[in-house]
Structure 1
Amino acid sequence: MYTVKHAAAMTGISPATLRMWERRYDVVVPGRSPSGYRVYDEAAVRRLSAMRALVEAGWSPRLAAEQVKSGTTGGSTPTDSVDGPSGELGDHEALVRVAEGFDGARLAAVLDEAFGRGTFEEVVDGWLMPALHALGDAWHRGTVSVAGEHFVSATVNRRLAGVLDALPVPSGAPRVIVGLARGSRHELGVLAFAAMLRRVGIDVVYVGGDLPPESWVVALNGDQPDAVVIGVPSSDDIAAVRDTVASLRAAYPDIAVHLGGRHQDHVGVEGSRPLGHQLGPAARDLAAQLIG
C-alpha cells in the first residue's frame, strides 16, 4: 500500500491532480491507513498510470477515466486480452509471438497494453527486459529470425527514444553521459535507463552504441559530467568496456564510471561501479547519490 506521496511519485502525477481525479472521476477508491490517511494498492497505481498515459496521448480526463474504469485502454482493446498475461505486467513471450508476423499494429498494441499496466520503471523491469531476453533466447534457438528480432527491437527502440525525447531536460541538474562501448549495439537497456534518469531529474546525455574509448574521452570534454554510465549487455562487450573505463580514468581520474547490463559484474576494473540489475532502483539510487 502506498501513500498519496508515494503513489504520485510512482505514477508521475502530482498529488493535487491525483486527488482531483479521485474526487471528480472516481478512477480509484483509496483505502485508509489506521491513522486515516489515504493509501493506494498496486491496482490503483496501475489505473492511475493508465489514465495518465491516455491523457498524455490527448484524451480528455473524463473519457480517459471512463476508459480505465471500463477495464480497457488503447482504444477498445481489453487490458488483459493482448496475448494473455502470465503475470501482473504481461506475458514475457508476447514479443516472441509477434516477431515473425511483422504486424506493426499488433506489436504497438502489445506495447501499449504493457505500458498501461504500471509505471515506466515497473514495466521496463517487470516485463520489457524479461520479454526482450526471451526474444533473444528465441533468436539463439533459431525459432525467431534475425529479421523478426530486428523488427521488434527497432520498434521498442523508437518507443523508448520517444519517452526520452518527450521529457524536459532539467536545468542545473547533475549531468550523466550514458551509452555503450566500441562494438556494442544492444541499446535498449541503456536507452531505457537514460529515460529513467531523466524522469528522476538528471540531465542525461545519451550517446548511443558503438562508441570507441577515444570518443568517450572526447564526449567528456568541456563541461565534465558528474558521472558516466556504460552498458555491458553481452559477454562480448566486456573487453571493450574495460578499455573504455581505463581510457576514461586515465584522462579524468576523478570521474565516476558506473556499469549496467547483464555482464556488469564481470568487468572488474578498478574505478568502475556496478549499478545492479534492476533499472528503476538503479536510476533512483544514482540520482540520490548525485543530487544528495
Structure 2
Amino acid sequence: MYTVKHAAVLTGIPAETLRMWERRYGVVAPARSEGGYRLYDDAAIARLTAMHALVEAGWSPRRAAEQVASGTTLGRTSDAAMPEGAEDEGDLGVLVRLARDLDPRVMARELDEVFARADADTFLDDWLMPALRQLGLAWQRGEVSVAGEHFVSASLQRRLAAVLDGVPGTDDAPRVLVGLARGSRHELGVLAFAIALARAGAEVVYVGGDLPPDSWVVAATTQRPDAVVIGVPSADDVPAVRDTVSALGAVRPELPVLVGGRHQDDVGAGEPLGHSLRDAATAVVARLARS
C-alpha cells in the first residue's frame, strides 16, 4: 500500500491531480489509514498509470477514466476508440499480450515497433517501467503464466543489454558499479537504470544479479568505482541488500552506496535514489562530477 506521495512518484501524476481524479472521475477508491490518509494498492497504481498514459496520448480525462473503468486498457486500444488525431502511445499492455501468446516472431515484431518509436529520453520511465508493472500485476492475477513472464523478461533483457552496450562512452566519466544483491535475479529494473546512467554520462560497470556481499567488495576494491548502485526490486531482497551495504561500508566508507527499486525505502541503509530513472541518473552523475 502506498501513500499519495509515493503513488505520485510511481505514476508520475501530481498528488493534487490524483485527488482530483478520485473525486471527479472515481477512477480509484483508495483505502484509508487509521489516521485518514489515502493508501493505494498495486491495482490502483495500475489504473492510474493507464489513465495517465491515455491522457498523455490525447484523451480527455473523463474519457480516459471511462476507458480504464471498462477494464480494456490492459490490452491494445482499438484505433476507433482513440480520439481524432491521437496516437496509441499509451499501450502498456503489450507485454501482457506477448506473455500470453508465447510467439517469438510476434515478440520480435512488437518490440521492434516499441523500441523504434520510443523517445529515448522518456522510454524507460514512461513506457518500460509502467508496462513491466502491468505484466507483474497480470502474473499475480493468474492471467499470465510463469513461462510467459520469463519469455518476455528474457527477450527484454537481451534488448536492454544491447541498448546499454550501444551507449557511447565519454572520457573521464564517473564510474558506477550497478547490480543486484545475493539471491536477487529480477534484473530488468536495475538494467534499465544502468542505461539511464550511461545516457546521463556515467561509465557503467554492470555486474548483473545474485552477487554476494564478498563479490561486491572485490568489485568495489578492484574496479575503484565512484559510486555503487544496488537494486531492491522485491521485499525478499531487503536483507541481502543491507548485508551488502554494510560490507561495502566496512572496506570503503567513503564510497556512495545508492539503492533503487520498488523497496528501496525498506532497506534503511544506503541512499535511496527515488523512483524516476532519468532524474535519479542525472542527479547521480551531476553529484559525482562535482566531487
Q: Distance in 2 between matches of 1:179 and 1:274?
A: 15
How far does residue 128 in structure 1 lie from its aligned partner after superposition? 1.0
Displaced runs of 4 or more, over 4 A: 85-88
The one-letter code of the counterpart of 2:274 is G
Q: 3-state SS of the aligned residue for 1:277?
A: coil
Q: Please tell me the residue identity of whatever aligns with 1:83.
A: R
2:93–2:135 CA contact under 8 A, matched in 1: yes
Partner of residue 198, structure 2: 198
* Corresponding position of 1:279: 277
1:291 aligns with 2:289: yes
Preserved CA contact (<8 Å) 1:171 1:203: no
Kindly indicate whether residue 76 of structure 2 is the aligned counterpart of residue 83 of structure 1: yes
Cα displacement string for residues 211-244 of structure 1 (whole angstroms, at most 9, x for unaligned residues): 0001100011234111000000001100110000
Determine the C-alpha separation between the residues in 1 that align with 2:136 and 2:122. 21
Q: How many residues align?
A: 209
Q: CA deviation at 1:98?
A: 1.4
Shift in Å, 1:99:
0.7
- Where structure 2 has 5 or more consecutive residues not aligned to the other structure, the ranges are 1-74
- Check whether the contact 2:226–2:256 (CA below 8 A) recurs between aligned residues: yes
1:243: which partner in 2? Answer: 243
Give the counterpart letter for 2:199 in structure 1. R
How much identity, in percent, do the aligned residues show?
59
TM-score (norm 2): 0.68
Alignment partners' CA distance in 2, 1:260 and 1:107: 29
1:91 positional shift? 1.3
3-state SS in 1 of match to 2:221: coil
Residues 180, 209 of structure 1: 8 Å contact kept = yes
The answer to whether the 8 Å contact 1:181/1:231 transfers is: yes
Judging changes above 3 Å, is the alpha-carbon distance between structure 1 residues 242 and 203 closer, same or farther for their aligned structure 2 residues? same
- The runs of 5 or more residues in structure 1 that have no matched partner are 1-81
Partner of 1:262: 262
- Contact preservation (8 Å) 1:227, 1:255: yes
- 2 CA distance for matches of 1:285 and 1:147? 37
Give the distance between the partners of 1:171 and 1:88, measured in 2 at CA: 39
CA contact (8 A) 1:121 1:279 kept: no
Give the alignment's Cα RMSD to 1 decimal: 1.8
> 1:95-139 deviations in whole A, cap 9, x for unaligned?
111112112222223323333344224111111111111111111
